[in-house]
Structure 1
Amino acid sequence: MSKPIVAILGRPNVGKSTLFNRIVGGRVAIVEDTPGVTRDRLYMDAEWSGRHFTLVDTGGLDFQEDSEITGHVRTQVELAIREADVVLFVVDARAGLNPDDLEVASVVRRAHKPAVLVVNKVENFDSPEKIYDFFQLGLGDPVPVSAAEGLNTGDMLDRLVELLPPDQGVADSPDIIKIAVIGRPNVGKSSLVNSLLGEERVIVSNIPGTTRDAIDTTFERDGKNYMLIDTAGIRRRSRVERTTEKYSVIRSLRAIDRCDVVLVVIDAVEGVTEQDKRIAGYAHEAGKGSILVVNKWDLVEKDDKTMKRYSDKVRQELAFMPYAPLIFTSALTGKRVLKVLELVDFVAEKHATRVSTANLNTLIREATQQNPPPADKTRRLKILYATQSGVKPPRFVLFVNDPELLHFSYQRYLENQIRSAYGFEGTPLRFSLRRRSKEE
């Protein structure tokens, strides 16, 4: 099921990032303390009144001091609005109405998207005079808030969830593997999709996807059923400006939410960029099976050590997902493209693998005997029981005497032991801790 996208727009220094962190619970835009995960997040999942949505912070918008929106800034604004289901348009009560506010409001109105006009930095809610000017923006009644203090943000979120579209998505089929092809603009996603579909294929049907301008394509190969979930416009060469690449992640969010396996496509010539890390990081945090596809490999000059050096570099840049298989392809020539589907089958199987409780507890017991948990002064972690609570991704529950005694490094050791015994290539693993006394 795909989550709605909510984009926060506005001029610099109106408090967009403060509002972003307030909505997601005051957390910084990172969801786990894992080495290697890029911290430059522009998005995070949020929830209010039972409705889940993905919040996107467009804090990088760069407006000119002379109040004229340049071509690339207008493109940024229009792209963020086009990809969103609802817009939170933030203005500054202290600074008052600005000509740039009028420009952005005009773009929002022309897009015909539901919008909440948020007047931030309100200091006195009993004196609403400062918000009257913002009625000129033509976006309905302004909602006064103080994001820094958390004042009136509940009313703003109530307004927001009323505008969210109803839950949507395609019905899951147990025998179909859903594949999302994601990546920055012009890394070869379209060519890869066409190459996957163009050889020995039987197209079953085209299903309208929840991503705008996308078609979910189902096909069969070797008796197995697949669905390719497109990001927006994946079949046509996008002409998105390089300056707007940070918003290409928006196009990937819904596709990742609905898939089983993600193909993270990387341009072999350019290597791993910060945007690649953002996109791959969302797939990792969403718990999806992942494959790193280094495309355009035919354009790289090679010797007998090129692939090894390149692999090491990719692993270093994407250190937060060492489990993801890495494959070098050329969608243009078809080199290794068919092996991508073989990897998809393999990763999908691992993503849904379940380990029996008896075998899991035997493994954990042997692992703790071989390498006992470190002691904290006079106290030592005791793992009393373990069980697998779910799949896609595999989730494990550890019953321990004190969850605070489990250091991240020892959890990583246990994860490595489980991977060594059962593989789980291509899928993240999730662990949760529960306190239990020995007597229980």
Structure 2
Amino acid sequence: MRPIVCIVGRPNVGKSTLFNRIVGRRIAITENKPGVTRDRIYAEAEWLNKYFILIDTGGIEPYSDDTILSQIRRQAEVAIGTADVILFVVDGLDGITASDREIANMLRKSGKKVILVCNKIDTPKTPHEIYEFYELGLGDPIVVSAGQSLGLGDLLDEVVENFPEDKDTEYDEDVIKVAVIGKPNAGKSSLINCILGEERVIVSDIPGTTRDAIDTYFEYQDDKYVFIDTAGIRRKRNIDENIEKYSVIRSLTAIDRSDVCILIIDATQGVTEQDAKIAGHAYERGKALIIAINKWDLIDKSDKTYLEFEKEVRNVLSFVTYAPIVLISAKTGKRVNKVFALIKEVYSSYTKRISTGIFNDILNEAVILNQPPTDKGRRLKIYYGTQVGIKPPKFVIFINDRELSHFSYERYLENQIRQNFGFEGTPIQLEFKEKGD
């Protein structure tokens, strides 16, 4: 297990900015208002060739009874419980607040290593106000400016020195990255909570509760996964708030960095145009895809219900006919275990390699069964083919003339490849080149 470093503090002290600086890219949404980060956001970070998991948390409001703020506080408490090192961020310009004192008391009780981080100090000279933070009893504060990237080296040196010796800090690439995508309120967060068996992601009946793309590292039957819960993707005309615009960008970015996408469709609403657009993003980026029909327990069923729904899915999402369909209820947990089996199956297809010899045997057989098209007396000739990549599988087929290659024959060859090699759940890419290119 990687060392876990957790960033905590009251709202608007720069936690998400610090998180983004350490991981080296903009993952957490940053906005100059409190309460933007709501869930725990995970990302892998590295310093001095030591890899660790960094967690950003929502701002802790110790004295608030608001429902969302209470859930944010609970998410932060769970993160603190799992952390090896805690970065307690305070605003070095504001001085100590009552919330800072209350959070410091909570952290002392945790028994974890706590590093006090005084943020927003943009000048080389340390201001006198910093010394009042010794009152919190958490040792020497480390002065940084997350916005200006000042002091981060000293901070990270202190972080890695406090990693437990039994933690694994080596690089590990054998991780399956799974993005859970779909419209708002389709049940994406509920599915992840059901898989993990805990309230990992804040769940609410209010659409738009999840704002960031949230990474959860998880091991199951010797396989390692990263589940990425994404903010629901709405139609453009329904996006008004700046933060929600950022959420859509994060969702598309989450698709980019995933291997497998699970498209959650709300069974009570049917398959919509927006579902097709979201699936289109995964298709265009060449990602493996699983279609999960959620809330199936709420549907009035007959012996034809599934067949009719499947027909609707295949009609609306005709460009991803390779994607398997699973009927689930994230609320009750019904058939959620099948999701894991499908993830492994489609990931295996996504990374499958076919030897050149076997591929050309199938290619030659396909040509014999259905001769290539002709145009003005000239026939398309297929010389040979080879696989040149995975994620998704990509094949190059060498021919005599690209102008003789027709879309319908290319689709026929793709179908023959799928029929012989499977490739369920993953797109495959065929590139036709003239011999000598």
TM above 0.5, yes or no, is: yes
Structure 1 residues 299 and 420, CA, compared in 2 at 3 Å: closer, same or farther?
A: same
How does the TM-score come out when normalised to structure 2? Answer: 0.55
1:243 paired to 2:260: no
Post-superposition Cα deviations, 1:340-382, rounded to whole Å, max 9, x if no partner, equal 0110000000000000000111111110011001211211100
1:230-379 superposed matches below 5 A: 230-232=229-231, 243-244=238-239, 249-379=248-378
Post-superposition Cα deviations, 1:179-235, rounded to whole Å, max 9, x if no partner, equal 000101010111111011117x9xxxxxxxxx9744311111122111111224x7x
Structure 1 residues 240 and 280, CA, compared in 2 at 3 Å: closer, same or farther?
A: closer
Aligned mates of 1:327, 1:375 — CA distance in 2: 42
The percent of aligned pairs where both chains have the same amino acid is 54
User: Secondary structure, in 3 states, of the residue corresponding to 1:272?
Assistant: coil
**Retained in 1: the 8 A contact 2:397–2:431?**
yes
Aligned mates of 1:4, 1:427 — CA distance in 2: 28
1:60-139 superposed matches below 5 A: none
RMSD: 3.1
Post-superposition Cα deviations, 1:270-320, rounded to whole Å, max 9, x if no partner, equal 111111111100101101110001101011110111111100110010000
- One-letter amino acid of the structure 2 residue matched with residue 244 of structure 1: I
**Retained in 2: the 8 A contact 1:399–1:435?**
yes
User: Secondary structure, in 3 states, of the residue corresponding to 2:319?
Assistant: coil
Post-superposition Cα deviations, 1:10-43, rounded to whole Å, max 9, x if no partner, equal xxxxxxxxxxxxxxxxxxxxxxxxxxxxxxxxxx
Post-superposition Cα deviations, 1:102-123, rounded to whole Å, max 9, x if no partner, equal xxxxxxxxxxxxxxxxxxxxxx
Structure 1 residues 422 and 189, CA, compared in 2 at 3 Å: closer, same or farther?
A: same
Shift of 1:239: 11
1:172-183 superposed matches below 5 A: 173-183=172-182
Shift of 1:243: 2.9
Structure 1 residues 283 and 402, CA, compared in 2 at 3 Å: closer, same or farther?
A: same
Shift of 1:249: 4.6
1:381 paired to 2:380: yes
**Retained in 1: the 8 A contact 2:212–2:250?**
no
Shift of 1:431: 1.1
**Retained in 1: the 8 A contact 2:176–2:226?**
yes
**Retained in 2: the 8 A contact 1:2–1:257?**
no
Aligned mates of 1:2, 1:416 — CA distance in 2: 42
1:192-203 superposed matches below 5 A: 192-198=191-197
**Retained in 1: the 8 A contact 2:234–2:274?**
no
Structure 1 residues 293 and 268, CA, compared in 2 at 3 Å: closer, same or farther?
A: same
- One-letter amino acid of the structure 1 residue matched with residue 175 of structure 2: I
Aligned mates of 1:384, 1:239 — CA distance in 2: 46
1:229 paired to 2:224: no
Name structure 2 gaps, 5 residues minimum: 1-22, 28-169, 201-209
Structure 1 residues 229 and 223, CA, compared in 2 at 3 Å: closer, same or farther?
A: same
1:177-192 superposed matches below 5 A: 177-192=176-191
**Retained in 2: the 8 A contact 1:249–1:279?**
no
How many aligned positions are there? 260
1:138-157 superposed matches below 5 A: none
| Rg larger in structure | 2
Write out the 4+ residue segments of structure 1 that deviate beyond 6 Å after TM superposition. Answer: 1-5, 238-242
Name structure 1 gaps, 5 residues minimum: 6-170, 202-210
How does the TM-score come out when normalised to structure 1? Answer: 0.55
Aligned mates of 2:248, 2:212 — CA distance in 1: 16
**Retained in 2: the 8 A contact 1:3–1:257?**
no
**Retained in 2: the 8 A contact 1:183–1:276?**
yes
